[in-house]
Amino acid sequence: MSRKIKKRDVDEQLLDSLITAEQEWKQIRSIMEKSIDPMGNGLYHEHLARAKYLFLLREARHRKISAIRYNK
């Protein structure tokens, strides 16, 4: 028998992913800003991380998720 997935569990996972994606994007951006000669591969990873973060942010807004509600 499969366990029914609760909306709250999925929302918490989405928030965790959102926070992780934001940290990853900011870290890559910081490295690229400090770089003397940013390479195309680095720019690609920065844009990819930003796109991932913005996608998760839009999904959280669509689901009307607030980080304040899920404070542990």
Query: In one letter, which amino acid is 68?
Result: I
pLDDT at 40: 80
Per residue in 3-51, pLDDT (tens digit) is 777 888 888 999 999 999 999 999 999 999 888 887 888 889 999 999 9
pTM, entire model: 0.80
Tokens of 35: 């770089």
Residues 6+ apart with CB under 8 A from 15: 60, 65, 67, 70
Domain range summary for the chain, segments of one domain joined by +: 7-62
pLDDT at 41: 85
Looking at residue 6, what is its pLDDT?
87
